[in-house]
Amino acid sequence: MKKRAIGVFDSGLGGLTILDALHRTLPHEDLIYFGDSANVPYGSKSKQTVTRFSLDIARFLENEGVKMIVVACNTASALALSELRKQCHVPVLGVIEPGAKKAVESTRNGRIAILGTEATIRSKAYVKAIFKKCPQAHVIQQACPLFVPLVEENWAKKPATRLIASSYLAPVLRYNADTVILGCTHYPVLKPVLASLLGSQVKLVDSAQTLSQAAMLFLHNRQEQETTGRGKLTIYASDDPARFKRLAGYLLKEKIGTVRLKKLNA
């Protein structure tokens, strides 16, 4: 089991931030990543649709022989995690719990804001996870539906993105939140813009590091952590792998080699 890869999936490019953190935290592990670029974004889709996509991807990863699956997508974690855990034959880790835990540990005034896709916000998954750990917390949610397409189109540094972000963040600033959860794996790409608008007094919680630490602890406790050799990255996209590879170069420092095309249900 030690020698098997870890499977990671996201609706598109954003999960590469998780992949990068996993690769740095678990450098000896082989990692298989699936970016569902044919169906991005997940955030505007129904629970039934997101669950169907997630199960299709999980079955593919299981067929690849992975020893665990990391759901790098916040929307899929919010809407499909319970069903994935029911139907998968390997352990499944989601991104919500580590992010909520880190936010509760980070806040000083008890005011936490969540930025996420429309589906993640509707699910209230982060709110429930935060209140479970800190019932007295004050939480505000803000859907940011344009952030994912802006990142996918490599518009992170465009003036239009700053203008849109300013509009989304206005309620957060009025709320005086001192901790903001980046509740989508695409959002860390926008960190420079978000940090400049929110100010240095606001802590941005990116769950990539906390999730990778949780994965390491999980494997260590099961005595399934690979500790020798150099792990390799294998990346699949469900549409236009050439474009996926080009845009992935903006998110990953390490060269990823060939991006393989794998259509769902094909």
* Residues designated catalytic: 73, 184
- The answer to whether the beta carbons of residues 36 and 264 sit under 8 Å apart is yes
Sign of CA dihedral 233, 207, 17, 209: negative
C-alpha 10/C-alpha 186 separation (Å) is: 10
Q: Which helix (DSSP H) or strand (DSSP E) does residue 58 occupy?
A: helix 47-63
C-alpha 138/C-alpha 124 separation (Å) is: 14
Q: How many other C-beta atoms can be found within 10 angstroms of the C-beta atom of residue 108? A: 9
CA atoms within 13 A on the CB side of 101: 12
Is the preceding peptide bond at 41 cis, omega within 30 degrees of 0?
A: yes
Instruction: Please provide residue 209's backbone torsions phi and psi, each rounded to the nearest 5 degrees.
Output: -70, -40
Q: Which helix (DSSP H) or strand (DSSP E) does residue 112 occupy?
A: strand 111-116
Q: Which residue type occupies 266?
A: A
C-alpha 18/C-alpha 258 separation (Å) is: 19
Q: In what order do the strands lie in the sheet with 138-143?
A: 138-143, 111-116, 179-183, 203-205
DSSP lists the bridge partners of residue 236 as: 34, 260
- The answer to whether the beta carbons of residues 32 and 61 sit under 8 Å apart is yes
